[in-house]
Structure 1
């Protein structure tokens, strides 16, 4: 009975506009579970994610037992609130724990990879950055890659990182969703490169930073041609739990 209910819930989550199968995905830079004034908002973030009914969520700026965020395993806490499966990979060790990227999924996670993205200006703390990639099986679609990145601040490095992401997705030869805080606006070369090979599912005219009076579109959701989908709805909810706004998109198949 429990298994049957789980299957029914999963398929219910696949129904979107027009009763066609689809999924709702989110990209959210959670600023180590704090708002712009450094007030702890981790539980509020979890409740918000739960309320959206998103099936796949990519999170940037996640702490794992770091002193600045109360030594909490943030992905474990968010998974407990949302009832979702989770994965975490580190960019680097930080404050007694790790700082990195997380993924929440309504579907069981089959595989987790920490793909290293280059930094042209590494330092004693940062030698490279993480591209977290998981594999999930989505009903009516099959095995899908779900990848999440947080690109660097300098333009030359971001362009190299965009090339590395595209090379990786091409090599894997699977339907893929790629998202993240890419620290670049739509007209910049690194985003134009991604747009030349991927379909953007989030709005290019929907700014997500800063939270109050947002001016910059720097958080994105893309998918490749193997996914055979189309975006049918995209929004940037005005929630002030971080220094970024979340990006939420429904992809229909």
Structure 2
């Protein structure tokens, strides 16, 4: 297992919107054309990541063998395009002619380091309320062969508060069972002041909060974009946080966020 002293890591969390690109949308403060539609291509997201040069990337809204995105393993494909190893973590089965039989959707991890372990954890669905949108959510856990073993969790929490509560409860249980350096990242669908951050902040450090920076990450393309922060990178006490920032890009409807770390 690879061990290094004072190792520097660039970590990115990126909701790639299943490869839907908004690069042809107007720039900030320009008139918006409602007839515009995004196009499917991983190239813009890959180019954005190549500019960042991360060693570890957590990705959300990832297709697996779906018709709409070219029937590819999107995590592996994005890994190939960026020189990283990509692994997919299932959250749900996609249904309908746009997706095709056997297509999946979930999270992914890209890394320059070898994978030692991989687990997928479904988040329990709450009791349904017809007024709210629900979607099966999941957590991807990967252990990387670096610095004695770094455990990375990637998740995309729900739009419903009850979905997010269930997700945070499961994350806390998994974190309490994990030893050694930990990175948790993803689209949490909650603002920095949401009370559901509290149990996570009791266990890990919010890389943006500790530096006093909270750059907005969503949406990437609107008249006054972006206007809210819903994407996060948390780390265990093993890491020193050097910097945190968002990258201006319309390769997806989210901006990628970057934490520069030292271990």
Tell me whether the two structures share a fold, i.e. TM-score over 0.5: yes
Unaligned ranges ≥5, structure 2: 23-36
Rounded Cα–Cα distance in structure 1 between residues aligned with 2:158 and 2:185: 14
Larger proportion of helix: 1
Could you tell me which of 210, 218, 222 is aligned with 2:219? 210
Say if 2:67 is the partner of 1:58. Answer: no
Q: Which runs of 5+ in 1 are unaligned?
A: 1-9
Pairwise mapping of residues 14-93 of structure 1 onto structure 2 (< 5 A)? 20-36=6-22, 37-93=37-93
Which string of whole-angstrom CA distances, capped at 9 and with x for unpartnered residues, describes residues 60-104 of structure 1? 000112122122221121121112111102111112211111100
d(CA) in 2 for partners of 1:248 and 1:173?
24
Contact 2:188–2:231 (8 Å) recurs in 1: yes
Tell me how large the CA RMSD over aligned residues is: 2.3
Query: Could you say which residue in structure 2 is the equivalent of 1:4?
Result: none
Which residue of 180, 184, 194 maps to 2:186?
180
CA distance in 2 between partners of 1:127 and 1:43 (Å)? 27
Calculate the TM-score normalised by the size of structure 2.
0.82
In 2, Cα distance between the equivalents of 1:66 and 1:38?
17
Cα deviations by residue, 1:204-245 (Å, 9 ceiling, x for unpaired) = 5211001131111100000123xx112111110001000100
Q: How many residues align?
A: 234
TM-score, normalised by the number of residues in structure 1 = 0.85
SS at match of 2:59: strand
